[in-house]
Amino acid sequence: MLVAHAAAEGDLSPAARARAAELGRALPRPRAAFTSPAPAARRTADALGLSATVADALADRDPTREDVDALAGRVAGWLAAHEHQEGTHAAVTHVAVVRAAVLVALRAPADAYEAIGVAPCSITELGFREGRWHLARLSWEPSLQHIPQRRGRRRAFPSRRS
C-alpha cells in the first residue's frame, strides 16, 4: 500500500490529521511500514497509527535534479527490495513517488506521469505476482465508501420525437 501523505504546510491541520486517522482505521494493519523522511509524511504516518521506518528512497522528487525517469528508477529499486516480502506493507510518501510506482507497475512511459491522478491522503495498492508489480487500486479514499453503487439495469428514458 502506498499512502500519499496528507496535504500539509509544516504541521498537519486538524482536518488533515482527522482525515489521516479515518484512513488509518480503514487500513489493514501492515506487517511493516515505511515513510519518506519529509515531516508531512512522518506526521501522516503517525496520524495513521503506523510505526514507520524512514526510507530515503521514498523522498519527494526534486524536479530541478531528478527527471521522471530517474524518479521511476529510484522507486523501482525500492519496490525491487520488497518484491518477495510476505504480508502487507505500507509506505507513506509523496504524490510524485506514488505516480512513479504506478509507472513502474504498468510499465508505462515517463510521459504518462502527469496523467496519473493521486489525491492527498489516498491509498494506491500494488501487488507482486508472476514476477512483476501489478496495480490493484489507484488513489482510493475511505470517504468514497459511502457513494452508492448502481445495480441492475439503467432506467430507459423516453425518446423525444419532433
Kindly report, residue by residue over 90-142, the tens digit of the pLDDT: 999 999 999 999 999 999 999 999 999 999 999 999 999 999 999 999 998 76
State the pTM of this model.
0.85
Q: Is 18 helix (H, G, I), strand (E, B) or coil?
A: helix
Mean pLDDT, residues 43-51 taken together: 95
The Cα 128–Cα 136 span in angstroms is: 10
Cell numbers standing for residue 162: 419532433
What is the CA 159 to chain-centroid distance, rounded?
44
Q: Is the pLDDT of residue 151 over 60?
A: no
Average pLDDT, the chain: 88
The DSSP code sequence of 38-104 is SHHHHHHHHHHT---EE-GGGPPP-TTT--HHHHHHHHHHHHHTTTT--S-EEEEE-HHHHHHHHHH
Where does the pLDDT of residue 26 fall: very low under 50, low under 70, confident under 90, or very high at 90 and above?
confident
Look at residue 142 in the predicted model and tell me its pLDDT.
Answer: 66
Which is the CATH superfamily of the domain at 2-144? Phosphoglycerate mutase-like (3.40.50.1240)
Q: Is the pLDDT of residue 3 over 80?
A: yes
Contact 3, 91 (CB under 8 A): yes
Match 501522516 to its residue by C-alpha cell.
44
Look at residue 143 in the predicted model and tell me its pLDDT.
Answer: 61
